[in-house]
Amino acid sequence: MDTVYAALGDRILVGDGGNGWDNCLLGHDIECVAAGAAEPNRAFVGTAGTGLQRTTDSGATWAEVLDAGDRVTSVTVSPQDADVVWAGTEPSAVYRSADGGETWTERPGLTELDSASRWSFPPRPHTNHVRWIALAPDDPEQVYVAIEAGAFVRSPDGGETWVDHPDGARRDNHTLATHPDAPDRVYTAAGDGFALSTDHGATWTYPQKGLEHRYVWGLAVHPDDPDCVLVSAASGPRSAHSTSGESYVYQCDSDRWTRSMDSLPGPAGLARPILASDPDGGFLALTNHGLFQSKRGETWTWNGPDDEGWPAEYTQVPSGLAIV
């Protein structure tokens, strides 16, 4: 396996799982993580209170490269150009760097959209944030932004202008995904279910058959098959965001969801896993019980040292996962 950056609540784990982990940014309040395959030694971590942190040496050292908002809640490295990095904050704002995080420019006009008056994050209802940023694989200037909670918005021109929330789109979007083999698609995991767009986010459908739990959080699409999708889901936020809650992973391989829990811990005592596609093929799931690997989601295997379990201090609700 390549390098894994696994974000827990109070640290980043860096390694390949099988040979153990290095603890990085210990004691920080971690929100998100991203890295690009073209620059595997460089990763970005969003935090609450200490901005956007960057490493250029696989986690050995870190430095703050963006001080914006109260929290940096999302970060994305462009798959077309690893020097182009996008970050989102609380309160909601979007920033872009074209030089690997050295300098940043806020993209204007986001909070001038008509829907902005309805944006509100329930645990902190006075504010809202950018939960996820994704880019269209066939057009890096086409930017998709999930506002938690209140809107899915997009920009056709790299954040120069914004298109407001379309009719029928989810409003409580948690994770967005795209796929190079289906570049017009946008996938979303949301607080009221899964949704799919096949026209760059303009219109949406809701493939829900078999998805018994509709508070959907994690999302990943198989790197070789845009029709093979995994989500993590729970009955509601309290169950999802707790190590004593109950969560599930579902797989959709055509038009129906089935549970994908074979050899995963839980569902009791499972916080909603963070899901990611594995560049070598398949999926990874970061849970409060460890890191797991699967080819297509039918069954899972533990990814860790054979003679060690998941240390008690790692038993946290995970906050992000990047594999490069």
Query: What tens digit of pLDDT does each residue of 205-250 get?
Result: 999 999 999 999 999 999 999 999 999 999 999 999 999 999 999 9
The answer on pLDDT for 307 being more than 90 is no
Rounded to whole angstroms, how far apart are CA atoms 307 and 83? Answer: 39
- Tell me the average pLDDT of the chain: 95
Chain Cα centroid distance, residue 268 = 23
Q: Is 119 within 8 Å of 149 (Cβ atoms)?
A: yes
Pairing mode of beta strands 39-47, 52-55:
antiparallel
Spell 296-308 as b/e; 16+ CB within 10 A means b: bbeebebbbeeee
Question: Does residue 67 register a pLDDT over 70?
Answer: yes
Query: Would you state the structure tokens that stand for residue 247, as one six-digit string?
Result: 């969560």
pLDDT tens-digit map of 91-108: 999 999 999 999 999 999
pTM of the model: 0.96
pLDDT recorded at residue 122: 87
Residue type, 91: P
